[in-house]
Copies of this chain bind each other. A is one copy, B any other.
Amino acid sequence: MIRLVIVDDHPIVRGGLRDTFADAEDIIVVGEAGDGAEGVERAKGLAADVVLMDLRMPGMDGVAATAALRERVPDSRVLILTTFDSENDVLPAIEAGAIGYLLKDALPDELMRAVRAAARGESVLAPSVTQHLMGHVRRPGAGTLTDREKEVLQLVANGSSNREAATALFIGEASIKTHLQHIYDKLGVRDRASAVAEGYRRRLLT
């Protein structure tokens, strides 16, 4: 039996979730909380296996609560269930130690499978969330720009167009475009502006 705690500041949402899991024979909702701090207490006191956590809440938010839980109740798994899938929400949550990240448009069936997966220690991510992670998970071999690619990126950061970068490096414009495509792939971005941003974040640029 999976012991589940629901943390969400909306009573309506909590109600809906409780109903959803009422049908499941292997899942029991042992407690609820309306904010992060309360959620941590409940999860600890009730020995939760899985905590279903909203992100945006008054007081202690979901990320902080997740981090606190990971520290104080390491055996419980935190499954994020929220409306937002922007990078700014996803990444901190994962970093804080959430094992899964679902969106609130998930079907009840998906939700239950996700809770069971989380209880087994498996990771479940909503498809759109996976996208965000792709670019930030450093695949082996990826995330490392070649010297040439770094040169190109630096030139772009300094305001060079493809043509100008080509002239500066004594190569053709086509090669600059190819290098840039490789850079985009490796950094998980789609355009030169965010490539430059990633370059600074990863300290590849000065």
Contacts and interface: CB of A to CB of B under 8 A. Distances in A.
Interface of A: 87, 156-159, 161, 189-197, 200, 205
A159 B192 CA distance: 9
B196 A193 contact: yes
A205 B158 CA distance: 16
| Chief secondary structure at chain A's binding surface | helix
A168 to B, nearest CB: 9
Nearest to A200: B200
A193 B87 contact: no
A156 B189 CA distance: 12
Given A157-B193, A159-B194, A200-B200, 16 more contacts: A156-B193, A157-B197, A158-B194, A158-B197, A159-B189, A159-B191, A159-B193, A159-B197, A191-B192, A192-B192, A193-B196, A194-B196, A196-B197, A197-B200, A197-B205, A200-B205
A87 B192 contact: no
Contacts of A196: 157, 193-194, 196-197, 200
21 contacts: A156-B193, A157-B193, A157-B194, A157-B196, A158-B197, A159-B189, A159-B190, A159-B193, A159-B194, A159-B197, A191-B192, A192-B193, A193-B193, A193-B195, A194-B196, A196-B196, A196-B197, A196-B200, A197-B200, A197-B205, A200-B200
A22 B141 CA distance: 63
Contacts of A87: 158
A161 B190 CA distance: 10
A58 to B, nearest CB: 23
Contacts of A191: 159, 161, 192
A20 to B, nearest CB: 32
Contacts of A205: 197, 200
A6 to B, nearest CB: 30
A191 B158 CA distance: 10
